[in-house]
Amino acid sequence: MNKTGTVVAVSVSPTHTMLKENASRIALLQGLGVEGDAHMGATVKHRSRVARDPSQPNLRQVHLIHAELLDELEEKGFTVAPGRMGENITTRGIALLDLPTGTRLHIGDNAIVEVTGLRNPCAQLDGIKPGLMQAVLGRDAEGNLIRKAGVMGIVLQGGEVKPEDGIRAVLPPEPHVALKPV
């Protein structure tokens, strides 16, 4: 498993939309998420989750997607630019989906994001292009569902993140717990 990578793009949106605008930098705020993003906060901001229980902790402060997924989608006929699927940080070189829960991603000079789980793709992806939601799902050899739409995390230590910053994953102590949707 590759535990290092780089930031390809950073993106933010003050509204609940799938399209996040690319930026030259984003600021991660400890315990809150991406400054100026609709999902920033200590408690859950995802609208369907707020409707169920607005006091839940926000385990989805930062959304990361691997650029390798965008490459795979391109091969399937889906042209998707960084930030278009709602992610804040687009990465390359690090196997995000293979990381265990609790992995700490050291990004740039100071920021640390703890991986909390998988992003569960939603039907809004089909609003970008019909069939996109199905394209970010797969099956393993045993027939189990594979969610490829990135990982979610919380900000343990704030800092600035920009394209070309390095990323280093520090795995939690064993036994490792596989990522589940959050």
pLDDT computed for residue 31 by the predictor: 97
pLDDT computed for residue 42 by the predictor: 93
pLDDT computed for residue 2 by the predictor: 79
- CA-based nearest residue to 26, from 170, 166, 161, 168: 161
Q: Is residue 83 domain-resident? A: yes
Cβ atoms 67, 82 nearer than 8 A? yes
Q: Is residue 146 domain-resident? A: yes
Dump the DSSP string for 99-155: SPTT-EEEETTTEEEEEEEE----TTHHHHSTTHHHHTEEE-TT--EEE-S-EEEEE
For residues 100 and 122, what is the distance between their CA atoms, to the nearest angstrom?
Answer: 22
Beta strands 62-66 and 89-92, pairing class:
parallel
Q: How confident is the model at residue 1 (pLDDT cuts 50, 70, 90)?
A: confident
Total number of domains in the chain: 1
Q: Is residue 180 domain-resident? A: no
Give the model confidence (pLDDT) of 96-154 as tens digits.
999 999 999 999 999 999 999 999 988 889 998 999 999 999 999 999 999 999 999 99
Higher pLDDT, 50 or 60: 60
Residue 47 has pLDDT above 90, yes or no: no
For residues 47 and 35, what is the distance between their CA atoms, to the nearest angstrom?
Answer: 18
Q: Is residue 182 domain-resident? A: no
Residue 90 structure tokens: 């687009």
Q: What is the CATH number of the domain that holds 19?
A: 2.40.33.20
Structural domain containing residue 122: 4-170
pTM for the predicted model, two decimal places: 0.96
For residues 118 and 179, what is the distance between their CA atoms, to the nearest angstrom?
Answer: 6
Q: Is residue 43 domain-resident? A: yes
Dump the DSSP string for 1-29: ---EEEEEEEEE-SSS-S--EEES-EEEE
3-state helix, strand, coil in the chain (%, to 5): 15, 35, 50
Residue 46 has pLDDT above 80, yes or no: no
pLDDT computed for residue 54 by the predictor: 81
Q: What are phi and psi of 123, to 5 degrees?
A: -65, -15
Q: Is residue 178 domain-resident? A: no
Q: Is residue 53 domain-resident? A: yes
The stretch 53-68 carries a mean pLDDT of 94
Q: Is residue 175 domain-resident? A: no
Question: Which residue, chain included where needed, has tokens 């995390």?
Answer: 153
